[in-house]
Every structure is written in structure tokens, then in C-alpha cells.
Amino acid sequence: MDAAEQSLSTAAQRLSPLRRSAVQIALAQELDGKEEHSAARRLERILTDRAALASKRRIKPANPAYELDLPPGWVTASVDQLCWDIQYGTSSKTGELRTGSDVPVLRMGNIQDGDIDPHNLKYLPKEDPSIDGLLLEPGDLLFNRTNSAELVGKTAVFSDQLEQATFASYLIRCRPVPGVNAQWISHIANSPIGRRYINSVMSQQVGQANVNGTKLAAMPIPIAPQTVEAKILDEISETRASSTRLGSSIEEAKARSAALRRSLLRAAFNGELVDQDPTDEPADVALAKIRDQQSGAAPRRRRKVVAAK
């Protein structure tokens, strides 16, 4: 049972790396090269649409920090080229309890393994001026800019997890250009491709790592022909769904193992694991005899006599 439980724990630990590597698993496949030049044309259209949406301050996007080694026909873009708006969250003090029309505030702990976890929330009054322009919309990308070194950079997409929400200052909201799939950027950021970049640019102070908005903007993201991207997203979704089902099966098996262990202990102490000798005297009688023997056979201590001088 110990060996089985250890195997279950090992399997559970391998699920998160499997989910993160789903992108590289998909990219390693042989892909159809008929749309060899469509990724470049697609990026041109994205940049045109971005220019129409971005503010004057952000009209010129940052280039990717470096070019990725990609399949033929793919191109490298930056997060800034794919997103027309990049903003830090609110730094207002939040409350534990929700009253009236308070707005939930997503924090770093609400990004878990590439998904938004809508539990353990804090709240701000809807009238708080710090959340003006910071209400989340479906398709917004949330990036964790400050955390421990292994967790900084974790990313997820806000969709329908909550009816209304904003986000805290330890997160950065990226709003993709229409036609850019936020889930694609999120998968890349959480994959070894994204982790390699995060590890190269993060700064560390007093046990906390940080990746600011400028560095996030330059994160390199592979751009594929749209049909190829859609196919890969489907495969990633299936891999993640399979790992989720496997995780549930592991938890069920661990619960059954714990129940079996309790049953075995109960059976052991009830004398049900081995055949019982009907001639054996009851345990309480045997214990009483042992106590009597110990009390009657206890040796008396001799006093040490010291001769007087």
C-alpha cells in the first residue's frame, strides 16, 4: 500500500509538467506546410488592427526580445504586438467580506495551473475610483508579475468564471487584438517556451521575483497559420482534459487507499486478519495476569549503607 500510494503521488506530481509541455508536444508534430506564408500575412493584419485600437502612447509596439526556432512558415511576435492594451491592476486595499455590489478582485493565488480559480476572493466597492477602466472582459489575459521565482509569470485567461471582476496590482492585464486567441498566448507563456524567457528577464529581491510590463511586452510568441493554430489548440485542450481526468482518478484512488488502510487497521485490532485460537484466553484476562506478575515480582531496592567515620 505504501508503494502504491507513493506511485499515485508521483503520478500526480507529473500532471502539471505534462500540462505545461502540451504546447511543445503539439509543436513537435509534422505540420502541413501548404500555408507557408500565411503566418506572416496574419501578423501584418494583426499589427494593422492593433494600430487602430492602441493609444498614441502605445502606437508603436515593442519587438520580440529574440526570434524563436519555429517550423517553416511560422513567425515570432511579441506580446505587445498581439495585445493593444497592457495595464497593471488596482493597488487599493481589499476587504475579506462582500457587501452589496462589491467587485471581486482576482489576485496571484487565483491563477492556478493555467486557469482562473474563482475561490478565495477579496473585494472592492464598485465605486472605488481605482478600478475605473480595470473591469475584466472575457478574453482578457492575466499575467502574474510578482511571485516566487518558480511561480512568477503564470498566466490565465479570464472568461466566464465570474460575472464581474477586476484584478490586483500584482497582475498585468493584456487585452489581445481581435482575431488573436488569448488562450494561445497563455499556453505559450506557461509552457517551457515562456518559462525560458521569464527566467532570463526576471529580477529578484527579498525572495520575490518580478517581471515588469516592459519585459512582458517583449515576450516572444510563435505565430502559426490560423488553421494550424486551431488544430494545436484542440490538441492542447484534449491533453489538458485528459490530465484533469487522470488527476481525478488519482485522487479517487488515493481516497480508496486511505479507506482500505483504515479498514485493515480496524480488522487487525479486532483480530480479523488471522485465525483465532478458541483456547486462547481473552486479552483482558492475559493483561490482568501480566499486571499481577509485575506487581508481585518487582524486586525491592536495597538501601546503601555508608559506614560512619
Cα 29–33–35 angle (5° rounding)? Answer: 125
- Any idea which of 28-32, 123-127, 137-141, 162-166 has the lowest mean pLDDT? 28-32
Q: What is the pLDDT of residue 309?
A: 47
Coil, strand, or helix at residue 63? coil
Spatial separation of the C-alpha atoms in residues 127 and 55, rounded to whole Å: 25
Question: For residue 71, with 0-12 CB atoms within 10 Å meaning exposed, 13-18 middle and 19 or more buried, which class applies?
Answer: middle
Q: What share of the chain is helix, strand, coil (3-state, %, to 5)?
A: 45, 15, 40
Confidence of residue 306 (pLDDT cuts 50, 70, 90): low
Q: What does R_g of the chain's alpha carbons equal in angstroms? A: 31
Question: Which of 150-159, 226-235, 300-309 is most confident?
Answer: 150-159
Q: What cell numbers appear for 58 in the block?
A: 502605445
pLDDT, tens digit (0-9, with 9 covering 90-100), for 51-62: 999 998 889 999
Q: What is the pLDDT of residue 223?
A: 94
What is the full DSSP assignment across 199-218?
HHH-EEETTEEE--HHHHHT
Q: Output the average pLDDT for the chain.
A: 87
220, 78 contact by CB (below 8 A): yes
Residues of the chain with pLDDT > 90: what percent? 50
Spatial separation of the C-alpha atoms in residues 133 and 287, rounded to whole Å: 76
Spatial separation of the C-alpha atoms in residues 44 and 226, rounded to whole Å: 13
pTM of the predicted model, to two decimals?
A: 0.76
Confidence of residue 27 (pLDDT cuts 50, 70, 90): low
For residue 104, pLDDT beyond 70: yes
The single-letter DSSP state of residue 117 is -
Average pLDDT over residues 82-87: 96
Phi-psi region of 123 (alpha: psi -120 to 50; beta: other; left: phi over 0): beta
Cα 179–87–56 angle (5° rounding)? Answer: 75
Q: What is the pLDDT of residue 47?
A: 96
For residue 303, pLDDT beyond 70: no
Confidence of residue 144 (pLDDT cuts 50, 70, 90): very high
CATH T-level assignment (fold) for domain 36-224: Adenine-n6-DNA-methyltransferase TaqI; Chain A, domain 2 (3.90.220)
